[in-house]
Amino acid sequence: MNQLANKIVLVTGASSGIGAVYADRFAKRGHDLVLVARDLTRMEALAERLRRETGVAVDVLQADLTDAGELAQVEERLRADTRIGILINNAGASVASSFIDQSPDEVAKIISLNITALTRLANAVASRFVKAGDGAIINISSVVGLAPEFGLTVYGATKAFVLFLSQGLHLELGPKGVYVQAVLPASTRTEVWERSGWDMNALPPLMEVDELVDAALVGFDRRETVTIPSLPDADQWKTFDAARQTMIPNFNQVHAAARYRLASKPHTRQLQ
């Protein structure tokens, strides 16, 4: 990734939590930054600290990525600013209620931020990265996208989308010099829990956000396509992914599988 050493890093959801720590870590690596979030006050405070401590240049771009006009401004920045070489798609949201208790507007907002905004930002920068022959996109997914048993149906579905998108972009853009990484955090101590309405006292132990990001950056430096910081045994993911790939040749069949064919002739009524 030496060709990215002098590139600017654009981080969404940068005012707190995972996004703020990513900003801190890349600043300490010497990267200039563009911070994107809704909370201007907190972003400016973070930017001032990072300028003072690391000497990097930090630009602040206030935007609500669920607002079409404000999202378009961030897209344009990604298209036009050729100094930006790393996109961290971190902004995301959830709601602490079951699917049947979520309003249509709540569902739409989760999808708008977790899927639509993330995909549009990746799309905005991908062509330029391909033309340059370098660049990196880090998409923050979640282990919930692999586990419907956790019960976060809409949130998990959006994070499954992010994982699939990242894997697809890896196959499409990787050969053209663009690195794509999906990071799948488990439960991490960030403000998203309280903002989503969760009772913090009822939650299981959480990973600290600094540890999560530092582990994810080890995966970044190794150019992992999928990084799961909380997974102790990497072979479990490899086995899971290998099983998926084993099925692929069997998907494209011209006949239904034998187990779906009727084993006997239809019953006929006996004439009296």
Of 22, 155, 179, 260, which residue is the catalytic one? 155
What angle, 0 to 180 degrees and rounded to 10, lies between the N-to-C axes of helices 118-132 and 68-80?
10
Q: Is 260 a catalytic residue?
A: no
User: What distance, in Å, lies between the first and last C-alpha atoms of the chain?
Assistant: 82
| Whole-number pLDDT of residue 215 | 97
| Whole-number pLDDT of residue 145 | 95
Contact status, residue 178 vs residue 130, Cβ threshold 8 Å? yes
Contact status, residue 143 vs residue 95, Cβ threshold 8 Å? no
Q: Among 8, 6, 117, 122, which Cα is nearest to 68's?
A: 117
* pTM of the entire predicted model: 0.91
| Whole-number pLDDT of residue 262 | 79
What residues are paired with 8 via a beta bridge? Answer: 84
**What is the rounded distance in angstroms from the CA atom of residue 20 to the CA atom of residue 94?**
19
pLDDT in tens, the chain (272 residues): 567 989 999 999 999 999 999 999 999 999 999 999 999 999 999 999 999 999 999 999 999 999 999 999 999 999 999 999 999 999 998 887 788 889 999 999 999 999 999 999 999 999 999 999 999 999 999 999 999 998 889 999 999 999 999 999 999 999 999 999 999 998 766 666 566 555 656 666 779 999 999 999 999 999 999 999 999 999 999 999 999 999 999 999 999 999 998 765 555 555 55
Contact status, residue 162 vs residue 140, Cβ threshold 8 Å? yes
| Whole-number pLDDT of residue 99 | 87
| Whole-number pLDDT of residue 141 | 97
Q: Among 82, 35, 42, which Cα is nearest to 60's?
A: 35
Contact status, residue 73 vs residue 59, Cβ threshold 8 Å? no
Contact status, residue 21 vs residue 208, Cβ threshold 8 Å? no
**What is the rounded distance in angstroms from the CA atom of residue 90 to the CA atom of residue 92?**
6
Strands 226-227 and 84-89: unpaired
DSSP string across 59-125:
EEEE--TTSHHHHHHHHHHHHH-TTEEEEEE------SS-GGGS-HHHHHHHHIIIIIIHHHHHHHH
**What is the rounded distance in angstroms from the CA atom of residue 53 to the CA atom of residue 173?**
35
218-241: b (≥16 Cβ within 10 Å) or e? ebbeeebbbbbbeeeeeeebeeee
